[in-house]
Structure 1
Amino acid sequence: MKTRFALVLLVACAGSIVYAQRGANPLGDGPWTYTTSERGTRIRVSVVTKGLSHPWSMAWLPNGDMLITERQGRLRIVRNGVLDPEPVAGVPRVQAGGTSGLLDIALHPKFAENRLVYLSYNVSKPAPAASADAPQPATRGGRGGAPMVYSTALARGRFDGKALVDVAEIFVAEPWTELSGGDASRIVFAPDGTLFMSSSHHRDPKAPQDPMSDVGKILRLNDDGTIPQNNPFVGRAGYRPEIYSIGHRTVLGLAFHPATGVLWETENGPQGGDEVNIIQPGKNYGWPLVTYGRDYNGAPLYERPIPPDTVLPAIFWVPSITTSGMTFYTGDQFPAWKGNLFVGAMTVGRIGGTGHVQRIVLNGDVEQRREMLLTDLRQRIRDVRQGPDGFLYLLTDEDAGALLKIEPAP
């Protein structure tokens, strides 16, 4: 077993961002132990299982088994710490490629009674016929170069222990777009039983501010995909009723604050400007009119007075860390971490091999300090969750992805 003092406090930095080609960084077998910045808190990181391909999200069954999504469209199950070689059957067809595919997973709050599993994922279909004079849709992904359009969908099905059955697509974001990419989606159930779903920007600079588009929004749905009648824009002309908040880019984390019950989210900026936002109904979070980031060519984005109705981020990063999944720690295994926010990071400033986990200490809704964890593993951390046992679990978004566990060091 190796002991490292590889955790450093995050210091804001400026200057040029170094670009590097993203490459795989082999993960050893571990375990690894670390001394953290909190006195008396030493942790051990171990590999639960390898053999995953770009895992995206995870959920625990009542018996302790885990369901894990893989971006290519597979749903895997880990039983007693062992990855079943056979994927779970019944997963809906997804549009996989690049960053698109099978994304988040959530269990219904009454899963023990109804066995319902929810999945968010990307979809595509042939573009509708258009006149010869109309602009032609993108052709990426179409068979034989056929024009395609893209969206993000939500499905649910019953898990019978081996497969998803009675699977139904209960919501598809509108309108379908000619642009693929930038299409991440997280889902989370609220304390009142409604479901929040993010629909990211699809590389469309106008849609996040368009109230008649679900793109670049956080949506609120009933558990059957219908629209709650107390949504902020229900009955308002010119707004889609499923919209809960607008002006988002790429939303890669959703979690409810354990004390306030308010929804928080992580959001990727372009070059810099990753954010943590506290989501309020009907509010505008600015993208692309307001951002701390720059375009990928280094040019400033939308330098103009901030619109007065814009909600600014609670936390932001320059350079980017490519924020991903998030969780608030509420368990008893790490007393010094109680109430802290944990955010996955896939790169720092687009430099390969710089993924890690960030621990953010809060005073109410205000950030006090940050700590970078597991930097020497050099893994792209796609998701971070608290397990029912009070330990923290991570998914590494790699060709040879893995499920990791953080527990107190002996």
Structure 2
Amino acid sequence: MSIRSGFATAMFAACLLGTPDVSRAEIGSDEPHLDTAQPPEDPRDVPDSDFPYELRKVADKLESPWSLAFLPDGRILVTERPGRLRVIIGDQLQPEPVSGVPSVLCCSHSGLLDVLVDPHFSDNHRIFLSYMHGTPEAGTIRISSAVLEGNELIDKRVIFESRPAANGLDQIGGRLAFGPDHALYLTIGDRFQMERAQNLLDDGGKIIRINTDGSIPDDNPFVGRSDALPEIFSYGHRNPQGLIGNVGDGQLWAVEQGPKGGDELNLVTAGSNYGWPLVTYGTNYDGTIISDKTSAPDLVDPVHYWVPSLATGSLVSYYGNVMPDDWRGDFLVGSLAGEALIRLRMDSGHVVKEERYLHHTIGRIRDVAVAPDGYVYLLQDNSEAALYRIEPLTDQVARAKSPQ
């Protein structure tokens, strides 16, 4: 490998009607579609008959949800892009959203995005939200820190805002994660302005790293340089939408969407350039060439890539006891255009096998999450969507149905 609220809802609906694909408004122009020439059957597809699990609908009538997170007391938080933070208690969606959520720019694929729970939530009740702010012509992505008290957010602070403000409402990234170093990371897309990804004075097309109070870590790779923003951790990304740092290998991993072809799984390291748009396995949507190179010196090669694109939307590492033993340590990817749960079997940092489950069963999968009890949750991507939990059909296939 070379180094290679009502008003918000109305506004959101109005913006969706202005997207290029009105008939499938929930599919943004930032997410690739499957190549129609792809065979209907793929050897990586696992038939539902060979998957001894069923989908239980936990909650429905969610409006364009984007992310979910688990609280220590069993509550589930779900973001809706129009600007609502919803709560699920005992598999029941609570009628009233959390109050005090920051105002968001909620057009197209923008809006309220990720929710991340502080590791010390039991003591500080703090969560972090990522969201778009500003106007369609001058929008930024923000991280807000807030305390969840009852059903209200208090002590709200904006701890990060991308720069410069830019036009465009698609291809925005937005995924939050804690790294193995306990720093806070955020993915930022290039918003269809590919040149931004190589500009170190621009947060577009980057993964940024900050402390939880918003300060910049002293050991960030570009700290002290006049030609780079100090928050940048890595660059040369197109639209990273999955990010994890809890794998147990001390590494940071990301999945990002390519154009027509070229979705990637990347091992993310400090100061590295991941090549977009200098190298890519994809082409423009009209078939024209972006680059004739898929690899080049000093650019980080992907650990795994997809051609055609599946529109990778999320990434988790499985660590529970509900799924079979050989799932532990594997990566699970939510696929949007591919409409499947993708399992990447990992061995020493390499993908040794890919399997695809629940193909076209629930449609587009926006987020995948593993609950503390080991169950896998899938969040649909749609204007009216549902949250599902994967449950064993029989006790024999479950290693445990309760925490050990």
Instruction: Give 2:337's match in structure 1, choosing from 327, 330, 347.
Output: 347
Instruction: Give 1:228's match in structure 2, choosing from 201, 207, 217.
Output: 217
Structure 2 residues not aligned, in runs of 5+: 1-33, 38-46, 395-404
- The equivalent of 1:160 in structure 2 is 149
- The equivalent of 1:121 in structure 2 is 131
In 1, Cα distance between equivalents of 2:387 and 2:226: 46
- Which string of whole-angstrom CA distances, capped at 9 and with x for unpartnered residues, describes residues 54-100 of structure 1? 11111111110001001111100001110011111111011011111
- The equivalent of 2:55 in structure 1 is 45
Q: Give, in angstroms, the shift of residue 190 of structure 1.
A: 2.1
- The equivalent of 1:130 in structure 2 is none
Higher helix share: 2
Task: Give yes or no for the alignment of 1:95 onto 2:105.
Answer: yes
Counterpart amino acid of residue 267 in structure 1: E
- The equivalent of 2:326 in structure 1 is 336
Contact 1:345-1:358 at 8 Å conserved across structures: yes
Counterpart amino acid of residue 162 in structure 1: N
Identity of aligned pairs, percent?
38
Instruction: Give 1:363's match in structure 2, choosing from 330, 333, 347.
Output: 347
Secondary structure at the counterpart of residue 110 of structure 2: coil
Task: Give yes or no for the alignment of 1:274 onto 2:263.
Answer: yes
Q: 1:280 to 1:191 in 2, by over 3 A?
A: closer
Contact 2:107-2:169 at 8 Å conserved across structures: no
Task: Give yes or no for the alignment of 1:17 onto 2:35.
Answer: yes
Q: Give, in angstroms, the shift of residue 45 of structure 1.
A: 1.5
Counterpart amino acid of residue 35 in structure 2: I
In 1, Cα distance between equivalents of 2:248 and 2:85: 32
When Rg is computed on C-alpha atoms for both structures, the one with the higher figure is 1
Q: Give, in angstroms, the shift of residue 184 of structure 1.
A: 2.3
Question: After the TM superposition, which of the residue ranges 305-314 and 76-85 deviates more from structure 2?
Answer: 305-314
Q: Give, in angstroms, the shift of residue 175 of structure 1.
A: 0.9
Counterpart amino acid of residue 253 in structure 1: G
Secondary structure at the counterpart of residue 375 of structure 1: coil
Q: Give, in angstroms, the shift of residue 312 of structure 1.
A: 0.7
Counterpart amino acid of residue 52 in structure 1: L
Q: Give, in angstroms, the shift of residue 302 of structure 1.
A: 1.4
Q: Give, in angstroms, the shift of residue 362 of structure 1.
A: 1.4
Contact 1:360-1:371 at 8 Å conserved across structures: yes
Q: Give, in angstroms, the shift of residue 284 of structure 1.
A: 0.2
- The equivalent of 2:161 in structure 1 is 172
Q: Give, in angstroms, the shift of residue 35 of structure 1.
A: 4.3
Contact 2:180-2:251 at 8 Å conserved across structures: no
Contact 2:196-2:204 at 8 Å conserved across structures: yes
- The equivalent of 2:174 in structure 1 is 185
Query: How large is the RMSD of aligned CA atoms in angstroms?
Result: 1.8
Q: 1:346 to 1:305 in 2, by over 3 A?
A: closer
- The equivalent of 2:65 in structure 1 is 55
Q: 1:154 to 1:237 in 2, by over 3 A?
A: same
Q: Give, in angstroms, the shift of residue 257 of structure 1.
A: 5.2
In 2, Cα distance between equivalents of 1:71 and 1:156: 18
Secondary structure at the counterpart of residue 377 of structure 1: coil
Q: Give, in angstroms, the shift of residue 307 of structure 1.
A: 3.5
- Which string of whole-angstrom CA distances, capped at 9 and with x for unpartnered residues, describes residues 317-336 of structure 1? 00010001111111111212
In 1, Cα distance between equivalents of 2:360 and 2:142: 36
Which structure 2 residues correspond to residues 8-407 of structure 1 after superposition, within 5 A? 17-18=35-36, 34-36=48-50, 42-125=52-135, 141=136, 148-256=137-245, 258-304=247-293, 306-334=295-323, 335-348=325-338, 355-407=339-391
Counterpart amino acid of residue 320 in structure 1: S
Contact 1:115-1:158 at 8 Å conserved across structures: yes
Q: 1:304 to 1:43 in 2, by over 3 A?
A: closer
Secondary structure at the counterpart of residue 282 of structure 1: coil
Contact 2:109-2:169 at 8 Å conserved across structures: no
Contact 1:257-1:264 at 8 Å conserved across structures: no
Counterpart amino acid of residue 238 in structure 1: D
In 1, Cα distance between equivalents of 2:294 and 2:36: 29
- The equivalent of 1:409 in structure 2 is 393
Question: After the TM superposition, which of the residue ranges 252-261 and 364-373 deviates more from structure 2?
Answer: 252-261
Contact 1:356-1:379 at 8 Å conserved across structures: yes
Q: Give, in angstroms, the shift of residue 376 of structure 1.
A: 3.6
In 2, Cα distance between equivalents of 1:376 and 1:285: 31
In 1, Cα distance between equivalents of 2:147 and 2:203: 27
Secondary structure at the counterpart of residue 374 of structure 2: coil
Contact 2:108-2:169 at 8 Å conserved across structures: no
User: How high is the TM-score relative to the length of structure 1?
Assistant: 0.83
In 2, Cα distance between equivalents of 1:295 and 1:358: 24
In 1, Cα distance between equivalents of 2:344 and 2:295: 27
Contact 1:103-1:186 at 8 Å conserved across structures: yes
In 2, Cα distance between equivalents of 1:340 and 1:191: 17
In 2, Cα distance between equivalents of 1:228 and 1:376: 43
In 1, Cα distance between equivalents of 2:246 and 2:120: 21
Counterpart amino acid of residue 374 in structure 1: L
Structure 1 residues not aligned, in runs of 5+: 1-15, 20-32, 126-140, 142-147, 349-354
Secondary structure at the counterpart of residue 123 of structure 2: helix
User: How high is the TM-score relative to the length of structure 2?
Assistant: 0.84
